[in-house]
Amino acid sequence: MLNESPLLLSCIRASLRGILSQDDARALFGKTVEWDRLLNDAQISGTSPLLYHTLKDVDGLLPGWVMSRLQTAYYSAFTHNISYYRELSDILSSFKRSGIQVIILKGAVLAETLYPDISLRPFSDIDLLIRDQDLLKAESDLQYLDYEKYTREFRQGYQREFEKYSAYLKRGRIAIHVDLHTRLFPFAHAQESELNGFWDRAVVTQIGGNICLVLSAEDTVLHLCAHIFKHGFQTRLLWFYDIALMISKYGESLNWKLIEKNARTLGVYGIVGFVLDQVRHALDISLPQSAASWAQSYKLGGMEKLSSMNESSGTIWYYFMKLRSIKGVKDRLRFVIGRTFPNRDYIMWRYSISNPRLTFFGYCYHLYRLHSMLLGAAQAGFALIHKGRLSSPRVRGGSIMRKIDRRLLC
């Protein structure tokens, strides 16, 4: 959820407008400011470089140590991103030799195609979409490039079968994280044949000096909105800013009818409308007419409304969507068992257990966490029904990001 200070939100809104006049700056900073909170919120939300870019020409209103911290974050993001782009070049070259088709997703694309400066859009991993039949070859290529599995699986083959991704890490002065995805929407209930449209609509562009495929602008908006809702209570202000920039850059030129059609096919129509509505309010932007009517009339289903109540119910929503996307009773049962009773390697990795004899206590704690999550979701569901909001046509103010306190939106 968003819980940034009003001051940070005001600065980020000013950044969207492209300028911050001296008068606006005086109105923002001409009073007592909690500088530590501002810097902390900017760091957590990933907007420190953006904040520096917005404020660097404001004279004498910010303490020198504040600007120094922001400047350090800006140049650190530049160094970090450059390292990632170098690794991306090696990965793409290796995939090309192996005949692996790939679409680059999210941060690495947005930093270069949407932002005026790659330093303004930090990203912490390289997300790559590949075809399911190429996953084994891609994993082999990454291992040849000195990458290792970053996470343990609940059970052997679980991530590949149900989560549709593999996470890899290359250790070094700057750790490089790579996520291989075989589905854009692992929780969607659409057929694979319908999802192939993302490949058909992909466009060729240059990223990090490499000619490669990226999602179309329409599919990027759809993906970013679903990604925000999926993460719910861990949503970052920077992700809202990504969508706001997409709308600012493309606006009415986006094929909103296509976005709407694909959202309905994937079962995320209400989710996308909800996120567009949240972005509009949080960053005080005007949506194109087609998107505005969508954001005003969307409907969330019962489970989606439930996910707005707390972090536990948000997690339950995601698992429910995943379960619904899995075909067959047998596979659904395997999915539930894998989540509930993972193998020993996962328990030891997840709970930092070095002695195998203590694995039993890891399982006890794992089951306790599941119990707490289910209890939290049940309490949220009771509160939702008790307040009569389950039958409400839409959620007003009580949402995944409802802690974007109304005071922040004034």
Give the model confidence (pLDDT) of 46-94 as tens digits. 999 998 988 887 767 788 898 899 999 999 999 999 999 999 999 999 9
103 or 230, greater pLDDT:
103
Q: Which two tokens stand for residue 195?
A: 């999802």
pLDDT, greater one: 129 or 316 = 129
CA of 101: how far to CAs of 59, 74, 96, 214, 371, in Å? 49, 33, 7, 11, 42
Q: Is the pLDDT of residue 298 over 80?
A: no
- What's the DSSP call for residue 288? P
Looking at residue 33, what is its pLDDT? 77
pLDDT for 59: 67
Lowest-pLDDT range of 8-12, 28-32, 135-139, 302-306: 302-306
Q: Which residues contact 134 (CB under 8 A, 6 or more apart)?
A: 98, 100, 101
Q: Residue 222 has what pLDDT? A: 92
**Residue type, position 272, single letter:** V
Domain-wise residue ranges, the chain: 6-76, 306-386
Alpha carbon dihedral 166, 271, 319, 312, in 10-degree steps, equals 110
Mean pLDDT score, 259-284: 86
Q: In this structure, which amino acid lies at residue 35?
A: W
pLDDT at residue 112 greater than cutoff 50: yes
Average pLDDT over residues 292-299: 80
323 CB-near residues (< 8 Å, 6+ apart): 332, 335, 336
Q: Which residues contact 43 (CB under 8 A, 6 or more apart)?
A: 73
What is the reported pTM? 0.81
> Can you give the pLDDT at residue 351?
82
Length of the chain: 410
pLDDT at 396: 34
How many helices (H) and strands (E) the chain has is answered by 20, 7
